[in-house]
Structure 1
Amino acid sequence: MNIGVYGLGRFGTFWAKELAKHNCGRIFGYSRHKKENIEGIKQVDEQTFLQECDIIYICVAISSFETVIKSIKDKLKKGTIIVDTCSVKVYPSKIMRENLPDGVFSIASHPMFGPDSGKNGVKGLPLVIFPISCPKDIYNNILENFKSWQLEILEMSPDSHDREAAWSQGITHFVGRVLDELALQPTELATTGYRRLMSIVEQTCNDPIQLFHDLQKYNPYAKQMRMGLKGALDYVMQDLVSQED
């Protein structure tokens, strides 16, 4: 089995290494800008990549996903399985459903971890997965492979994922960026709670700012989350003002 990772950015490189580590097959990588040698990954040109790979994980920015799918859709061989790894699910699922030709299968996935949270191993970490257009036997084979990694597998529809993710991942990244704007510094007076806040900043702000923007733009429930957060902040601020009177 030939497995491909399209996009060798920070997450794509991490994901390719995990696929190689778990002996998923021959691992191919493609990136517009050739990367330094990655152990266990064979980097090839796009044409070779698309013809050789049986399963292709698309690991590009959410905002680039549609462009990539439209650019490769007519070059894919019949039977290819396309798996997105975006942090939102409704948007890429719609793009795959509307653009991939007959005979090319699609699965939505979201590994809810990355280079930081998975640096000590991925055992027990959550992965969301859902078939978009894929025969049951093929989907089940991929599902069983991920189970062998000892991941926490969550089969969830794209809409359910985005609804929950807006109030978990989305709000975490939002709060992390807000705290980063405050330029908080370590202090000898740091409580456990403060150190946890600092860890949120570190975890979220290590990712490209593009990920933050895309999480807020392409999750249909993110605006509702932001309005809820603003309303809660306004309420607490007003409560404090009332205590001053």
Structure 2
Amino acid sequence: MSPKLDVKSIGILGFGAFGRLIAAHLHPYFSLTVYDPELTVEEDRVNHFQRGRIADVGRCDLVILAVPVSNLAAAIGELRPHLRVGGIIVDVGSVKIRPVEVMKAELPPFVEIVGTHPLFGPQSARDGIAGRKIALCPVRGRSALRIGAFLRRVLRLEVHIVSPEEHDREAAIVQGVTHLVAKVLVGMEPLPRRLTTASFDHLLQATEMVRHDAPSVFLAIERENPYAAEVRERFFSLADATRVVLDQHD
């Protein structure tokens, strides 16, 4: 990621939609090895990576855990026997407090740990990732700042160094409310597409960016973030208060 970091090989554990997005942007700079039991042979030729065993992923200089938050501990359990001394482990989960706690507890002391959350996905990154935001949480070791330098200088991302608590507190509103609204709007389909206002078009655009996220992403955002329940209750309470005001004018 920078010459000083000395990362030549990256292993990606999990190759869903976000794992594919990662590979698409990292393959020009690193040798990529991917492990996912559902990976097809045809994908090997298209996405510029090498399909390997979990042991091959673990031996890479840097390992990206691109698995659902609920599967993180189990994934680390499979990976742990194969990790190299001085390796760097990075997660990409939508929440940070719990994944960081799991990584600190389950990963051996001889690896470095960085929590990350790319604040974009396959839909919002269709036109590229330059200018998109990513949160980095330094956990163990000194690699977080150097990873951030690569992300900023080479991939042109807007990097924010935060604590897991800072991340989850803000994400509970930013992501939690967005996904709640999107779920409701999708449930109200078919929605008008002809006589729309600019503000409604933006609302539809925001909904489209998250509507195809895996169900595990929505559940992680709403259930694994310790601040999400409070935000949800406030959101629904304000919605109920608005309904009361409207009903008083009937």
The interval holding the TM-score normalised by the smaller chain is: over 0.9
Q: How does 1:21-60 map to 2 (within 5 A)?
A: 21=28, 23=29, 25-35=30-40, 36-37=43-44, 38-51=46-59, 53-60=60-67
CA distance in 2, matches of 1:77, 1:122: 30
- Quote how far apart the aligned CAs of 1:110 are: 0.5
Q: Is the 8 A contact 1:11 1:114 kept in 2?
A: yes
Q: Is the 8 A contact 2:168 2:225 kept in 1?
A: yes
- Quote how far apart the aligned CAs of 1:70 are: 2.2
Aligned match of 1:19 in 10, 26, 33? 26
Q: Is the 8 A contact 1:177 1:204 kept in 2?
A: no
- C-alpha distance after superposition, 1:105-148 (max 9, x if no partner): 110000111211111111111010021111x2x33321211112
Q: Secondary structure at the residue paired with 2:236?
A: helix
Q: Is the 8 A contact 1:130 1:157 kept in 2?
A: yes
The two structures have a TM-score, normalised by structure 2, of 0.91
Q: Which amino acid aligns with 2:47?
A: E
Instruction: Report the RMSD for the aligned CA atoms in angstroms.
Output: 1.3
Q: Is the 8 A contact 2:54 2:79 kept in 1?
A: no
CA distance in 2, matches of 1:223, 1:190: 32
Please tell me whether residue 212 in structure 1 is matched to residue 218 in structure 2. yes
Q: Which runs of 5+ in 2 are unaligned?
A: 1-7
Aligned to 1:81: 88
Aligned match of 1:222 in 224, 228, 232? 228
Task: Give aligned pairs, total.
Answer: 239
- Quote how far apart the aligned CAs of 1:189 are: 1.4
Aligned to 1:232: 238
CA distance in 2, matches of 1:48, 1:56: 10
The two structures have a TM-score, normalised by structure 1, of 0.93
Q: Which amino acid aligns with 2:172?
A: A
Aligned to 1:189: 195
Aligned match of 1:107 in 108, 114, 117? 114
Q: Is the 8 A contact 1:166 1:225 kept in 2?
A: yes
Aligned match of 2:149 in 123, 144, 158? 144
- Quote how far apart the aligned CAs of 1:234 are: 0.7
CA distance in 2, matches of 1:170, 1:223: 9
Aligned to 1:131: 138
Q: Which runs of 5+ in 1 are unaligned?
A: none
- Quote how far apart the aligned CAs of 1:102 are: 1.4
| Identity fraction in percent | 29
Q: Secondary structure at the residue paired with 1:243?
A: coil
- C-alpha distance after superposition, 1:162-208 (max 9, x if no partner): 00001001110111011111113233211112222222221111111
- C-alpha distance after superposition, 1:210-236 (max 9, x if no partner): 211121110001101110111100110
